[in-house]
A and B are shown apart, each in its own frame.
Chain A
Amino acid sequence: MNRVVSALVIGLLFGVGIALSGMANPAKVLNFFDFAGTWDPSLAFVMGGALLVTTIGYAFVLKRPAPIFDDQFHLPRKRDLDLPLIAGSAVFGIGWGISGYCPGGAIPALGLGKADAWLFVGSMIAGIALARFAQQTFAARTVPQTS
Chain B
Amino acid sequence: MTEFTPWLSLLGGCLIGVSTVLLMAFHGRIAGMTGIVSGLLPPISNDWAWRAAFLIGAIASPALIFVTTGYTVPFESPTPTTWLVVGGLIVGVGVHFGSGCTSGHGVCGMARLSRRSIVATLVFMGTTAATVFVVRHVLGGF
Interface residues of A, Cβ cutoff 8 Å to B: 3-28, 30-31, 33-38, 40-43, 45-55, 57-58, 61-62, 64, 66-70, 72-76, 78-81, 84-112, 114, 116-117, 119-132, 135
B50 touches A4 (CB 8 A): yes
Assuming the contacts A22-B2, A89-B123, A132-B41, asked whether A7 and B50 have C-beta atoms less than 8 A apart, the reply is yes
Interface positions, chain B 99-132, Cβ under 8 Å from A, are 99, 101-103, 105-112, 114-116, 119-121, 123-132
B96 touches A54 (CB 8 A): no
Give chain B nearest CB distance to A32 CB in angstroms.
Answer: 9
Please provide the 3 A-B residue pairs with the shortest distance between their CB atoms, ordered closest to farther.
Answer: A127-B92, A21-B12, A123-B88
Closest to A64 in B: B25
A102 touches B120 (CB 8 A): no
A130 touches B88 (CB 8 A): no
B12 touches A10 (CB 8 A): no
B97 touches A123 (CB 8 A): no
Closest to A27 in B: B76
**How many angstroms from the CA of A44 to the CA of B36 in the assembled complex?**
24
Given contacts A51-B111, A100-B79, 17 further A-B contacts (CB under 8 A): A5-B53, A17-B12, A17-B18, A19-B73, A21-B12, A23-B102, A26-B77, A49-B12, A52-B17, A57-B24, A61-B21, A95-B92, A96-B128, A97-B129, A112-B73, A121-B88, A127-B90
Closest to B34 in A: A103
CB-CB under 8 A from B106, the residues of chain A are 47
Give chain A nearest CB distance to B32 CB in angstroms.
Answer: 8
B28 touches A25 (CB 8 A): no
A18 touches B10 (CB 8 A): no
Assuming the contacts A3-B49, A20-B8, A120-B88, asked whether A93 and B131 have C-beta atoms less than 8 A apart, the reply is yes
